[in-house]
A and B are shown apart, each in its own frame.
Chain A
């Protein structure tokens, strides 16, 4: 059960929120002008990385506002929350938390419990 900081309400329990998948996937302005492949990519394809992930959340049992969050999917740490209207934050802000290409951190992923 993680704590999520709604940009409008503050820190609240995870159970008040719903996850909306990858963020910054913008609905094409002119769908008809897109090829079947490009439209298919928009509708069906999403990233699912281990590590840093830009994703959408909605405070569904609260203010009902949508917002974005950057979460390390291997540890569930939320590094930043920001409003939908805000720019996509640059990854360089979180240099210190990116330990390996796969995003596996030295502690917190739950994949091992003994210190190497």
Chain B
């Protein structure tokens, strides 16, 4: 058993070295991993998914179910198809799914235990007891089943590219090139996409075609490629695989920029092409299928056309004396190729009757004295980690031959994957025993073997006819063949077994280790619908999607069910056609580019002053400021909160959403959008307002500044701004197009500072000496515009802390300068910066709600006791009618209350339940009556005990009553009293001071 290196024009003479499982091997530039391994007589390359059976190289292309390897030298890339991945000097490769080594794999015990791993094994075995899945089964399965290991420390640099074209041709084989020829120098913008690194397809993979138009295949390819390259309207994409065919002729293709080359870490390694086209021509050919027999998975079993491709494309003859097993006429080309190289197959086994076998085949076999078995089949093969003996059944007699390789051909399937993704309908063709494209749903044309046309002589007419809609010149193809022009095949999906053993298996899905027995068992258990059967057995659900076997399984199932294959139908073909790495899909949207970070104009100051940041939407907001290295968050927030109520604090509120509302009907519009009544509001005053959904539930809140009846500025929550603007726009366009109103987002046009605390007025007077901040001149909830240095500012008297406070709006360009000015003036008053956590604590002390904390989309203003905000006299506003719906006006809805612990040392935690029991039972048997939940919980430094805001059923009528709050990790509950949610300054004396 040894491979021979043959002359090959497609392989370079440059010798390079690779390592596989730590050993170094020589190969040539242009080799794939598979051809390099075969060149070095390596047949065993991996262990199977479930049973850990030894597996080899089964195919020579994208359809490979077994030979998946891990590329150590490419950030540990797992599950790489050895049959398509091109090597380069120094490439490091390891096998997968084996421990401790490929030859001695511990997991192989699964093969002996295989009776328990049959169809539905996962569903049947890993049921209960509770907790076993998470703690035992899942980790166990993850370790023993599966494929390669995920990459580590991996940072991909892939890019996306967009195309708009008139015609996309998928596959540059014989039909693809001939089709492209029709568009040379025409008005059509054409993309010709080839998965391989060069054009030619079947012409380079096999011996089937002798000459085209009097030229050798290679001459014809070169001539055609030259013509295409010189035609400005056609672009060729090589090393590019079309994986997805979406609706409206939207294609996704993946280009490997480093095929056969070591990845340059500074360059994009993958390009994801997103293509819109008017027409799609699919010419990606066909895929050979296998036949199920006993131990059809042993290393050494290979598809016949793949064996031929290794000889033709890579100059590797994997074995000089293989056994050939076929049910169709196409294997003649392999036979001829071997003979021409002086090799002699051990035997030729054809399941067809002698009379149906082509005379040419019979003549060669006779002349060369090759053992010939017609009307025969392979019963099975045996050997230790490789094929050693092959058993042939002919009638009742068995012949056992020694050979290390078995070439199998079970016929060809048109590659209908992309066609069905495009939602076209396929039809069963009895002549080729396969599905072929029938009715396209989109503008899709299939040509050549993709369309089920296996007749080379008819190809030219097919192309000219199907592409006649484009009104271009006809192409001519005069093809001379090495194989019979007429394709002949005999139905054969699985051969009969002589004896049964646990070790011997007849596989239908090599990737996922599904046997033909599993199919039968699943049907017996009632899974007779093909989609159910697929999921129950995991048949054709591997990364190869059953490319060489799924039609076989449909045929076997239809035989068991005694139905026509077309009745059984196919499972749905879903994108991608072949695995598409997440790195390619993500493109540049990774790490810091995944989502933009928005920073305020004060950000650099926050950094310098030890701010710890919190993400609010895309915004980075200071959460709290560390006064010293060792200060904890709790300490910082307590300090900030106390200092503010004693002196003053300032918050960077620039992230608050700001929307400008202008126009003739601005007042009417605002009255419709918000609950509040704005008609009687005086110009240059502001008001806290709420926006509801039509269901009456609170959506957002903010302060509305009225400049005039025709001009308002609304602030929104930091994360709600885009949605509020979009909602306003929607109503304006769809419901009230008669209103003349213009909206503008001005969030980023202003830096906003919220300064508050008892010393605020003194600080403000020092910063702005020309402005009168007295109560009479500048009352609560009013605002004014001022000139400040070379810009203009707006100051509003408002507060979210409950203390005397102002909001300053200034163009961001001048923001930092003013912020620093405020600090230098505020130094003598002990002004501190504070973050969002302190803001939340202070507003909770004051009983102010936060959207998304107290509210959750099920809370109305009435539930919050904010009836004063509802403009009852207004005829209409969004959500008004819903407030009087029976469910919305129920008395026992969850309502906002305050919680105060009876034992002042107890801590009320956010998110805890409020119950009637002082202690929870050790084992909870019956549901415990639930009254509500704690929506906000803080330790108040100003009251010196824990406080809570809570949403409790019928809470308004429960003031003064005692209940209990659950606590993390304890069965003993915390006794609390229901109190008014305003803990500090209920008379608003501080606000208006």
Contacts and interface: CB of A to CB of B under 8 A. Distances in A.
B425 A115 contact: yes
B733 A110 contact: no
A84 B435 CA distance: 46
Contacts of A42: 694
Nearest to A77: B247
B439 interface: yes
A66 interface: yes
A92 interface: no
B566 A114 contact: yes
B362 interface: no
A113 B420 contact: yes
Contacts of B247: 1-2, 75-76
Contacts of A84: 733-734, 737
Interface string B889-921: 000000000000000000000000000000000
B922 interface: no
Interface string A29-51: 01110101001101110000000
B694 A43 contact: yes
A110 B882 contact: no
B603 interface: no
Interface in B709-737: 726, 729-730, 733-735, 737
B740 interface: no
B312 interface: no
B353 interface: no
A109 B456 CA distance: 34
Nearest to B876: A31
A107 interface: yes
Interface in B242-273: 246-248, 250
B441 A3 contact: no
Interface string A1-39: 111000000000000000010000011001110101001
B427 interface: yes
Contact of B427 (A36, A60, A66, A114): A114
B412 to A, nearest CB: 19
Contacts, number: 90
B276 A75 contact: no
Contacts of A85: 737
Given A2-B247, A108-B441, A114-B435, A64 B423 contact: no
A110 to B, nearest CB: 5
B428 interface: yes
A9 to B, nearest CB: 15
A40 B424 CA distance: 42
B880 interface: yes
A116 B424 CA distance: 13
Interface in A67-99: 75-76, 84-85
B394 to A, nearest CB: 36
B248 A113 contact: no
B881 interface: yes
Interface in B389-427: 420, 423-427
Contact of A43 (B425, B438, B695, B886): B695
A115 B427 contact: yes
Interface in B425-475: 425-428, 435, 438-439, 441
Interface in B273-300: 276
A115 B573 contact: no
Nearest to B571: A113
A58 B730 CA distance: 9
A108 B439 CA distance: 10
B773 to A, nearest CB: 41
B881 A75 contact: no
B569 interface: yes
B354 interface: no
A1 B427 contact: no
Contacts of B161: none
B729 A64 contact: yes
B423 A32 contact: no
A30 to B, nearest CB: 8
A107 B441 contact: yes
Contacts of A116: 566
B423 A43 contact: no
Contacts of A3: 248, 250, 276
A32 B873 CA distance: 12
Contacts of A64: 729
Contacts of B134: none
A34 B569 contact: no
Contact of B250 (A1, A36, A114): A1
Contact of B439 (A20, A30, A76, A107): A107
Contacts of B250: 1-3
B876 A107 contact: no
A65 B730 CA distance: 8
A113 B881 contact: no
Given A31-B876, A60-B726, A36 B886 contact: yes
Nearest to B730: A66
A31 B881 contact: yes
Contacts of B566: 114-116
B110 interface: no
Contacts of B246: 1-2
B498 interface: no
A32 B425 contact: no
A5 to B, nearest CB: 11
B152 interface: no
Nearest to B693: A43
B695 A108 contact: no
Nearest to A42: B694
A27 B733 CA distance: 13
B682 interface: no
B156 interface: no
Nearest to B423: A108
A27 B734 CA distance: 9
Contact of A114 (B425, B875, B880): B425
Contact of A40 (B569, B880, B885): B885
11 contacts: A2-B248, A27-B694, A31-B876, A32-B880, A32-B881, A34-B881, A39-B882, A43-B882, A66-B734, A108-B441, A112-B425
4 nearest A-B pairs in the assembled complex, by CB-CB distance: A31-B881, A115-B425, A108-B441, A3-B248
Given A27-B694, A107-B439, 20 more contacts: A1-B248, A2-B247, A3-B276, A32-B880, A39-B881, A39-B885, A40-B885, A64-B729, A66-B730, A75-B247, A106-B439, A107-B423, A107-B425, A107-B441, A108-B441, A109-B423, A110-B423, A114-B427, A114-B566, A114-B569
Interface of B: 246-248, 250, 276, 420, 423-428, 435, 438-439, 441, 566, 569-570, 572-573, 694-695, 726, 729-730, 733-735, 737, 875-876, 880-882, 885-886
